[in-house]
Amino acid sequence: MSVLDLGGMTLGLREGLIGLIALVAVYIIFVLLRMFRLRQGPAGGTESLAPPAAVPAETTPAGTGQAVPEAVPPTSWEPVPNGMAEEVLRHGLELELAQLREEVDAIRGELAALRSDMQHELASLRASQSVSPIYGDAMQLAVSGYDAAAIAERCGIARAEADLVVALAKSQEH
């Protein structure tokens, strides 16, 4: 056990721990007294507290075109008017609603693109299912918009057969 000798006074671990506890207790009492004073407010009105930080003046949020009402900080610690809090809340909700509308519009655009792709794939599948497996590739090319000469060359079929496949693909589209 470590012992500290100070001019005839011996301090051990036990005494050091008791001293530390006493210091913490004094600090807690000091903090509680300060909190009690703050809760009561300034004594005699001689102390002046700084007003709250200023809120930025009138700005225009991007894309809304609406002006934000100017928030004027109170000059003292007087209560804020009831309408101001409601107005700030309403404005915040309006901004959030505008952002949500933009997100919904973006999702609608993506959904329309996916629907178009799916319809194209479905038409391609229907075309390939209604034709003999031999002409499946030719039918897919016809649905994609190739002409009869290109289909005949790519699939190795006669030009007359390619014309029939193109005619069949066009009749199924309508």
Q: How far is residue 13's CA from residue 2's CA, in Å, rounded to a whole number?
A: 7
Whether 167 and 139 have beta carbons less than 8 Å apart is answered as: no
Distance CA 161, CA 157 (A): 6
At 77-125, the pLDDT tens digits run: 666 677 788 888 899 999 999 999 999 999 999 999 999 999 988 877 7
Residues 171, 148: Cα–Cα separation, whole Å: 15
- Percent of the chain whose predicted confidence (pLDDT) is above 90: 36
DSSP code per residue over 39-52: HH--STT-S-PPPP
CA pair distance 167, 37, nearest whole angstrom:
93
